[in-house]
Structure 1
Amino acid sequence: MSLAVLLAAVSWQVAVDGPLLGLDTAVRDGVREARGAIGSTLLNHLGVALSDLGGGAVAVPVLLGCAGLAARLARRGGRPRWWVPVPVAAVAAVLVPLLVVPAKIWFARPGPYGAPLAGDQWGWYPSGHTATSSIAYGTAALLLARVLPVVAGRRLGTACALVCLGVGAGLVWSDFHWLLDVVASWCLSGLLLLGLRLLLPRLLPDHPDSAS
């Protein structure tokens, strides 16, 4: 519920150019000052590399590969509907552009550099790379957690969270997105992943008698 409220509040502020956007400006200016003071080329390259982990060319193959592995482990474990991870992953991959692209077009928010949008640009809000990484890696972690030991599943979830945080940090550090673009996509992704977490025990049950 809190994720939905935060997403609605941030979206409202972006739509009306509200005072909360001052936080974006303050963070952008603070990051630029820190980047200039540190002057680390390595750190700047790291920011770009972390951002790239949110691209579909990286995240979607990871998602599909993890789904295939989850299906294989489920079949080996005698799970009913062992094949479910693959279509779940496909739906998750398709949901990202279906949800993010219309929002980008509707909000039409300029990026951190402040230049007006060109005719072929969709806008920066919400962050597509953040949504792609969070939904893809989050779905992959949830699917594998259904077929791995509990401790391994928790560690995988922690690693996934760290990667997604890194993607968001890289986007903000590199001036690719405003902070609120990233926060909104985390909220949207969190809502979808919470729903998937509730559905997965029914979609991919442990025993045949729970598959009905």
Structure 2
Amino acid sequence: MRYDPDHKQQTRDRVLRAAARAIRDDGPHRVAVAGVMREAGLTHGGFYAHFRSKGELVAAAITRMFDDAFRTWQRCSEQPDARALADYIGLYLSMAHRDAPGKGCPIAALSSDLPRLEPESRDAFAAGARRLADALAQPLGRLGHEDADVLASSVLAELVGAITLARCEPSRTRAIAHLDASRMQLLRRLDLNDLPENPA
């Protein structure tokens, strides 16, 4: 059977989507290659046409997860810098994000697993986190903040910490209050709290 030139890449993408879902849902250590391949609609035997090992799969899936997270930032960044940052903070510190850890930021979802991951996966995680921090640093610098790189890392740490604590809170009322307070404090810290509401 002949396949078009993109067939192998499309198949790999299916496997990575399935692996990313499994990692978010069950954690990287409980991911089974057979289950991932089954979820992707493929046979277990086809795995080694795309990956040398489960470790390589996990690392590639983590990279894919960060690619997805970065696209969220890119959608926000189509607006002016201040509006982009405010909207990203609003999306990150939302109940929708809090309630969907399997679809959200991989830093918050996977950071507790990081010490037990293989070096290749830790490297993929670190590269993804740096990419997000670097993306946030650019508008912060253009808005006149000093040490934008350091500030961006601090902002990212605040976002991750706030969403993680909100997920630990069993009361939805208290979780909402926590996220609202964190968002307001962060917007104030970045001089974004006087922006008009986004009509979208």
Q: Could you state the TM-score of these two structures normalised by the residue count of structure 2?
A: 0.30
Of structures 1 and 2, the one with the larger relative CO (CA 8 A, separation 6+) is 1
